[in-house]
Chain A
Amino acid sequence: MTARWAWRQITSMRTALILLFLLALASVPGSILPQEGADPASVQQYFAQHPALAPWLNRLGLFNVFASPWFAAIYLLLFVSLVGCVVPRTFRLAGSTRTPPPKAPRFLSRLPHSASFTSSLPPAEAADAAAAVLGGHGFRLRRPGASDSGSWVSAEKGYLREAGNLLFHLALLGVLISIGLGGIFGYKADKLLVEGQGFADTVSALDEFHPGRLATGSDLAPFDITLKKFSASYLTSGQDRGQPSKFNASLSYTASPGAARQSYDLQVNHPLSVDGVKVYLIGHGYAPVFRVTDARGKTVYDQATPFIPASTSSMLSDGVVKAPSAAPVQLGFMGVFVPTAEAPGGTLSSAFPAPRNPAVSLIGYTGNLGLDSGQPQSVYQLDTTAMSKVPGSPHLLFPGQTWKLPHGQGSVTFTGYKQWVSLSMNYDPGQVPALVCGMLALAGLLLSFLIRRRRMFVRAVAADSGPGSIVTVGGLARTDASGGFAEEFAELAAELAGPDPPGDPPEASLAAGAGPRPGGQTETGA
């Protein structure tokens, strides 16, 4: 008994609406807090800025809302609620389309809408004529059976209303399934790309790869992307000075090995679509180019080194340079890059995010980088436990300048800079089905709003005198929230009466609400 009652609660309209509301509410933190899947760098930044709060938010899954168990719990409950509601209703609809309309009531004048007129035809023929008219309007008809007496027609129309309603519910289910599909078979990946660099879409090339439950590295689309050039424009005046106004990443790509190379200007909210994968521009930064020579005078490092912006308004960025092949001791540098150098109080800062006066400040280290042990290391961090700081650190360099390390330990040259972009690759096979289902849901909703379920009854009895008959018409709209049945009924009644009776116009007594409403005829909505 309790189980049945609980099931009724879960599948009730009210529960479904509450869950739908909860689903919307649960998406809110996803748009307020930075999300692991969309922007992992911002999440790390948030951790750094809120060291006490962030771990708790993380435990609640608030940095990955759409993959969190509680979010899934809501949509699974909604799913169950919808299934529990839709399945029995589908059977009921199937049943009701097979059931003919009820027999015509005896006293049609008691229905909310009724009219009567006289016909020159005998009752049976008058009923036949009425059936032909109603049939022509797409009504489903029921005529007297062998055991029934009298001449009458029952007609019903508007089954599509419930069908539309069901379509709406089924389409909502479809949306939920599509979202789930995306989570199971889709994947998300990130890649940092410096100007002039390219990458083939393989797991080892990706910085981050988050496959769905049933997605693997062999599901990656075989495209490759090269960053030709990145440019950013910033506002140069006003109170929003320094705010970015436009980003443009000029890409070239091939959809598969050997395919023709194409160009694309990637911009924020203007993703590249390749092989069904959407590629978004989600970040950018500077990659100063360093050349390092060791004590023997050999060049051991020459590379554009991505630095991570610590502030997006000034683009002051930090990063590290590791020269593990330097001999006899390895060299490492921790650096700060500023696009527009400014040192009012002796502390290097950046006055503007565009590269107007780029400079780097380096702290040098000599010793053991810890790479030879075979342990993986982050390329953005320097392990200085087995290293010693080079005297003269920090050292400021402008492009083209070289810092000769003391005691002939080598040198580092800041030869220039490049820019990098951060790309987010998103494959979601549920996107198109979700769109289609969304449109179907809308169509279903429209059907259920615009179509009314209504019944027409016609009864003909022999006239008191002569060969003709008296015909009574009754109408009943089972759901008439939007109104309009009164007009339809009047038109139908007039058409049933026909143009013929000379000098005897149909006395249409449109008695809406006059007669007692038959019980049990109201339809429960949604």
Chain B
Amino acid sequence: MFNVRRRTAVTVTAVVAACVAAGLAVTLTAGNGQAGDRDYIGGGTSAWLYAAGHRPVAPDFSGTTLTGSHLSFSSYKGKAVVLNFWGSWCGPCRGEAPTLAVLSQKYAKDGVSFIGDDVQDTPTNALAFARSTGIKYPSLNDPGYQVAQDFGQAVVINETPTTVVIDPAGRVAGVIYGTASYGVLNTMLRDVVKT
């Protein structure tokens, strides 16, 4: 059927075509590794700052705290709020807890309120966590991530922990994904308190 030269040409063409297609394929199928790997990026942190005028409005969230009282974001009107998503099972949350404990007291006089949102957890575990890490501010009992969903498109809560800084106008001024370091959160808070 084919002579030798032609057969070689078939092979060469096939190989070249396959390579081109494979190259395209790699580009197209390389998933957007964004969130898939997130669980395993050790202590990786990224922080986002929103310039005034570009700050998304924080949703009105509410729920029951770990100690059983009602908490609603709307009752914090006119105050800067730090909302921290955490769980007692989460290593980075334990790592950042002392920072949050210290900063919550440091900025109390400036009218900054800290609220925790305890996800995928039980109140027993969470209250033991708060006791052992010296955290005094209230946390919502949110095992099903409802508050994270409330934030929806405004700010995607990608992981635990995530810390959202909300300015006194009720707008998101900054978000820290992963462990909140003293330096970054302190800078965000200084900025929010000033305005």
Residues of chain A at the chain B interface (Cβ within 8 Å): 2, 5-6, 9-10, 67-74, 76-77, 80, 180, 183-184, 197-205, 207-218, 222, 224, 226, 257, 291, 298-303, 322-327, 370-377, 379
Q: Are B119 and A204 in contact (CB under 8 A)?
A: yes
Q: Is the CB of A211 within 8 A of B35?
A: yes
Interface flag for B112 (CB, 8 Å):
no
Chain A residues whose CB sits within 8 angstroms of the CB of B90 once the complex forms:
376
Indicate with 1 or 0, residue by residue over B131-145, a CB within 8 angstroms of chain A CB atoms.
111000000000111
A209 x B132 contact (CB < 8 A):
no
Assess whether A77 is in contact with B150, with CB atoms less than 8 Å apart. Answer: no
* Bound complex: CA A366 to CA B58 (Å): 43
Which of B's residues lie within 8 Å of A, judged by CB? 9-10, 13, 16-18, 21-22, 24-26, 28-32, 34-36, 38-43, 85, 88-92, 94-96, 119-122, 124-125, 128-129, 131-133, 143-146, 148-153, 156-160, 162, 179
Is the Cβ of A224 less than 8 Å from the Cβ of B128? no
Chain B residue at smallest Cβ distance from A66: B29
B21 touches A372 (CB 8 A): no
B28 in contact with A72 (CB, 8 Å): yes
* A372 proximity list for chain B (CB < 8 A): 94-95
Question: From DSSP, what is the main secondary structure of chain A's interface residues?
Answer: mixed
In the assembled complex, 22 residue pairs joining A and B whose CB atoms fall closer than 8 Å, in A order, are A6-B9, A72-B22, A184-B28, A197-B144, A198-B144, A199-B145, A204-B160, A205-B119, A213-B28, A224-B144, A224-B149, A226-B144, A257-B150, A300-B132, A324-B129, A325-B133, A374-B92, A374-B95, A375-B42, A375-B91, A376-B90, A379-B89
Tell me whether A371 and B91 are in contact (CB under 8 A). yes
Chain A residue nearest in CB terms to B142? A200
Minimum CB–CB distance for A323 against chain B, Å: 8
B31 touching A303, Cβ below 8 Å: no
Assess whether A203 is in contact with B156, with CB atoms less than 8 Å apart. Answer: yes
**Do B29 and A205 touch (CB < 8 A)?**
no
Q: Which B residues touch A70, using CB under 8 A?
A: 22, 25
Q: Which residues of B contact A376 (CB under 8 A)?
A: 39-43, 90-92
CA distance A217 to B9 in the complex (A): 47
Q: Are B13 and A218 in contact (CB under 8 A)?
A: no
Q: A209-B35, A374-B94, A376-B91 are in contact. Are A67 and B144 (CB under 8 A)?
A: no
Residues of B within 8 A of A224 (CB): 144, 146, 149
Cα A269 to Cα B54 with chains together (Å):
46
- A69–B83 CA distance with the chains assembled, in angstroms: 42
Whether the Cβ atoms of B159 and A299 lie closer than 8 Å is: no
